[in-house]
Amino acid sequence: MNRAEVVPVAIETEEEYERVLKLVEQLTFKKNRTTEEQALNKLLVILIEAYETENYPMEKSAPHEVLQHIMEASGTRQADLVGIIGSSGVVSEVVNGKRSISKAQAKALGEYFKVSPSLFI
């Protein structure tokens, strides 16, 4: 990778976006990255996020949808959350969006899944 192809500038086009994504992928999986490569990778990720925020806005997911996704990704069952956020009935209502997630439950879920409690509020 030569320096000319990696001058960090704001991403303006889909082609630039695709090119920078490939560079980040190369840097991410490169073994023994130098300090400069680590810093460049971090900067390029910020540029990608800025482009995506502007060009691919996402609607905020409902807290119970976030919970469902995290449960599915981690292989967690509703029964695993009994005692963490309440009884089996409460867990079922929360997971299915019939009951909102309280701040205390959000904190408990954040600790359980090792994520920010704000995802559930």
Residues 51 and 72 in one domain: no
Q: What letter would DSSP give residue 10?
A: -
**What is the span of the domain harbouring residue 38?**
3-55
CB within 8 Å of 44: residues ≥ 6 apart: 6, 8, 20, 23, 24, 27
**Shared-domain flag, residues 75 and 48:** no
Same domain, 107 and 90: yes
Q: Is the pLDDT of residue 59 over 90?
A: no
**Inter-residue contact 105 to 94 (CB < 8 Å):** yes
- In this structure, of 53-62, 81-90, 111-120, the range with the lowest mean pLDDT score is 53-62
Q: What is the pLDDT of residue 1?
A: 55
Does 71 lie in the same domain as 48? no
Same domain, 38 and 77: no
pTM for this prediction: 0.54
Within this chain, do residues 38 and 76 fall inside the same structural domain, yes or no?
A: no
Are residue 7 and residue 48 in the same domain, yes or no? yes
Predicted confidence (pLDDT) per residue in 2-48, tens digit: 454 567 788 999 999 999 999 999 998 889 999 999 999 999 999 99
Q: State the Cα–Cα distance between residues 46 and 24, nearest whole angstrom.
A: 11
pLDDT tens per residue, range 63-105: 999 999 999 999 999 999 999 999 999 999 999 999 999 999 9
Last residue of a domain, one of 12, 33, 55: 55
Total domains in the chain come to: 2
Let me know whether 82 and 105 are in one domain: yes
Q: What is the pLDDT of residue 47?
A: 93
Same structural domain for residues 16 and 35?
yes
